[in-house]
Amino acid sequence: MLIFTNWEKTFFPNHMKGSVAFLLSLMLIFNVKGQEMNKRTGLIKGSTYNTERSNKKKFGSFAGDGSGGGVGSTRWGFGIKGGINMTQASPDDQFSVFSYTIQPENTLAEKEYYNSSENKGFQVTFIAKYTLFNNLSISLQPTFASYKYGYENNYAWLDFENNNNSLFLFYKHEQTLNYIEAPLLLRYDILNTPIRPFVHGGGYYGRLLSALKKVDVSGQDNASGATEEFNGATSTLGVDDQYTKSQYGIIAGGGISLSVGPANFELGVDYKIGLNNIIDESNRFKDNTLISGSYDILDNMKLKNLSISMGVVFGI
Partner 1 sequence: MKIILRKYIKKTTGPWLLLISTIISGFVITGCDSSDGDVAPKENFVKIYNNELFDITYNPLDVKQAADGSYIILSTANETDTYLLRVDEFGEFISDTTISTPYTNPLSELFLVNGDYHFFSMDNVTLSTYLLKVNLSDSNQTPELVQSFPDIIYPLHASQVPDDGFLIQSYNRDARSTALTKLAANFNQSWQAEYEVLEDVEGSIIAKFAGTGERSLPYFTGATDDGSVYFLNGFFNFSFSLLFVNGSNGDLIGTLNGLREETGISAAVHLTGDQYALSRFSFEENFILPNGAVNIQGNDFSGEIGGNEFPEIQPEAKVVVKKLDINGTNAIVYGTETKSKQMVLYIYDATDGSLINAKYFGNTNPYEFGNFALTDDGGLAIVGRTFVAGRFPRIAFFKMSQEEVNSLIQ
Residue numbers at the binding site for partner 1 (CB under 8 A) = 60, 62, 75, 95, 97-102, 104-107, 130, 132, 138, 140, 155-160, 165-167, 169, 182, 184, 205, 207, 223, 244-248, 276-285, 288-289, 291-293, 295, 297, 300
- Closer residue to partner 1 (CB): 50 or 235: 235
Backbone angles phi, psi at 80, to 5 degrees: -145, 150
Residue type, 310: M
- Closer residue to partner 1 (CB): 9 or 207: 207
* Helices 17-41, 48-59: crossing angle, 10 deg rounding: 70
Contacts of 188 (CB under 8 A, 6+ apart): 135, 136, 198, 199, 200
Q: CA 41 from chain center: how many Å?
A: 40
Instruction: State the nearest-atom distance from the C-beta of 271 to partner 1, in Å.
Output: 20
- Closer residue to partner 1 (CB): 44 or 287: 287
Instruction: State the nearest-atom distance from the C-beta of 282 to partner 1, in Å.
Output: 4
Instruction: State the nearest-atom distance from the C-beta of 12 to partner 1, in Å.
Output: 34
> In whole angstroms, what is the distance from residue 188 CA to residue 309 CA?
18
Beta strand extents in 222-245 (DSSP E only): 228-238
Q: CA 136 from chain center: how many Å?
A: 24
Burial of 153 (0-12, 13-18, 19+ CB in 10 A): buried
- Closer residue to partner 1 (CB): 26 or 291: 291
Instruction: State the nearest-atom distance from the C-beta of 177 to partner 1, in Å.
Output: 13
How many C-beta atoms lie closer than 10 Å to residue 60's C-beta?
8
Instruction: State the nearest-atom distance from the C-beta of 169 to partner 1, in Å.
Output: 6
- Closer residue to partner 1 (CB): 90 or 283: 283
Instruction: State the nearest-atom distance from the C-beta of 102 to partner 1, in Å.
Output: 4
- Closer residue to partner 1 (CB): 189 or 299: 299
Residue 59's H or E segment, with its range, is: helix 48-59
Instruction: State the nearest-atom distance from the C-beta of 118 to partner 1, in Å.
Output: 26
- Closer residue to partner 1 (CB): 28 or 132: 132
CB 127 within 8 A of CB 169: no
CB 163 within 8 A of CB 36: no
List beta partners, residue 180: 144, 207
End-to-end, the C-alpha distance of the chain in Å comes to 30
